[in-house]
Amino acid sequence: MIRLVMMMCLVMISACSPQGSEAEIIIEGPWIRETPPGRTVAAGYLEIQNNSESKRALVKAQSPEASRMEIHTMEHTDGMMRMRQVDRLEMPARSTVSLEPGGLHLMLFDIETAKVGNHVPVTLTFDDGWEIEIRFPVRRPGSGHQH
Ligand SMILES: [Cu+2]
């Protein structure tokens, strides 16, 4: 009987920490840009550290306060900066990927709560199925960048 209980504990432990992701992926400095009045599309930024020895990828972001979220890059096309949606955000082994104004960002659609003082919950899903919920504080940017 004791052996059976011990086995169950081991099974539960391994189910709770798939591939040790929690220590290997670290999220720093999340924030969402405040939307001007009448706008319901917001950009979110953060830094993702992949401290593991293997490449990883962010494959999905979602929030109960947005109808949908997308991962966007910024590209120079015909002399203009344009946003382009990507399916996944690749992170090489032992790398840090920064999502920041003027570059990579998360896009939140139909969000009414991107106002300073709010915290927007966002769930990030990685390619191995690991998920983490982050609270993004809403901030008013000092610069005139649109994204
Ligand atoms: Cu965008």
Domain boundaries, the chain: 20-139
Give the C-alpha separation, 31 to 118, whole Å: 10
Rounded to the nearest angstrom, the distance between the alpha carbon of 55 and the centre of ligand 1 is 24
Q: Which amino acid is at 109?
A: F
Give the C-alpha separation, 88 to 104, whole Å: 11
Distant-in-sequence, close-in-space partners of 52: CB < 8 Å, separation ≥ 6: 20, 21, 24, 25, 93, 94
At 64 the pLDDT is 98
Q: Who surrounds ion ligand 1 at CB < 5 A? A: 72, 83, 107
Domain 20-139 homologous superfamily, CATH? PCu(A)C copper chaperone (2.60.40.1890)
Rounded to the nearest angstrom, the distance between the alpha carbon of 26 and the centre of ligand 1 is 23
Q: Per residue in 20-47, is it b (16+ CB within 10 Å) or e — as a string?
A: ebeebbeeeebbbbbbeeeeeebbbbbe
At 146 the pLDDT is 47
* pTM of this prediction exceeds 0.85: no
At 4 the pLDDT is 52
At 14 the pLDDT is 45
pLDDT per residue, tens digit, the chain (147 aa), is 555 555 554 444 444 444 555 579 999 999 999 999 999 999 999 999 999 999 999 999 999 999 999 999 999 888 888 999 999 999 999 999 999 999 999 999 999 999 999 999 999 999 999 999 999 999 997 744 445
Rounded to the nearest angstrom, the distance between the alpha carbon of 4 and the centre of ligand 1 is 52
SS3 per-residue string spanning 87-140: CCEEECCCEEEEECCCCCEEEEECCCCCCCCCEEEEEEEECCCCEEEEEEEEEC
Distant-in-sequence, close-in-space partners of 67: CB < 8 Å, separation ≥ 6: 109, 110
Give the C-alpha separation, 100 to 25, whole Å: 18
- The residue written with tokens 């998360």 in the block is 106
Q: Which amino acid is at 54?
A: S
CB atoms < 10 A from the CB of 139, how many? 14
